[in-house]
Amino acid sequence: MTQRIANKVPEEKDSRLLFPRLAVLISGRGTNLQAIIDAVATRRLDATIAVVISDRVDAVGLQRARAAGIEAVHVSPRAHADRDAYDRAIVDVLAAHAVGLVCLAGYMRLVGRPLLDAFPERILNIHPSLLPSFRGLDAQRQALDHGVRITGATVHLVTSDLDDGPIVLQAAVPVLDDDTVDTLSSRILIEEHRIYPDAIARVLAGGWSIEGRRFVSSGPRS
């Protein structure tokens, strides 16, 4: 089943996606989704958002997608026996929409083998820290608690290890003496919204390869 679906993923040449149809996977408010929607609308990002998928029916991001005229789908984890079955259901939706690149944006589930195998090096995630520091939940609180003076945001390719894939783009954010989790998160979020569309554009543009764990791009760096 997964193999059949994998074959439906658009073919590529020279690592450039010929068919830049995106899916955005969310679980919550969807401000990064909104940044991607806005970047597509203003042609800063030359792509189509084919579908938005949420594991939570009440995700505000589903409303953002529908307001932008984008198909928005809730896929309930409870309707599937286990994580692999859930991921296969996600792959079915992605295949039905001829998606070429998957963007996780506040998607609060681990990505399993069925999804990784159907989209090798074609799943991006955004994380609110300078990876590899502060993986997992509450990255902004982890940064504050650790006492770092600089944190930030990272867009990376997704692998089977949490918050660990090759890094496409990062942005640094200073930690201020009077920062709270909320104030720090707000400033990081501004950078997230800036770098996520740029990272997607960079991946779609092709001309990159993975060397070891490095994302090596021949294009300009920002």
Binding site for ligand GRF (CB under 6 A): 26, 28-32, 105-106, 126-128, 189, 192
Shorter beta-carbon distance to ligand GRF: residue 1 or 57:
57
Shorter beta-carbon distance to ligand GRF: residue 9 or 123:
123
Smallest distance, ligand GRF to C-beta of residue 138, A? 10
Shorter beta-carbon distance to ligand GRF: residue 88 or 127:
127
Do residues 68 and 51 make contact, with C-beta atoms less than 8 angstroms apart? Answer: no
**Residue 193 identity (one-letter amino acid):** H
SS3 89: helix
What residues are annotated to the active site?
A: 127
Considering all CA atoms of the chain, what is the largest pairwise distance in Å, rounded to the nearest integer?
54
Smallest distance, ligand GRF to C-beta of residue 81, A? 27
Q: Give the C-alpha distances (Å, rounded to integers) separating 28 from 21, 57, 64, 76, 156.
A: 22, 9, 11, 14, 20
Smallest distance, ligand GRF to C-beta of residue 203, A? 17
Quick one: how many helices (H) and strands (E) in the chain?
7, 11
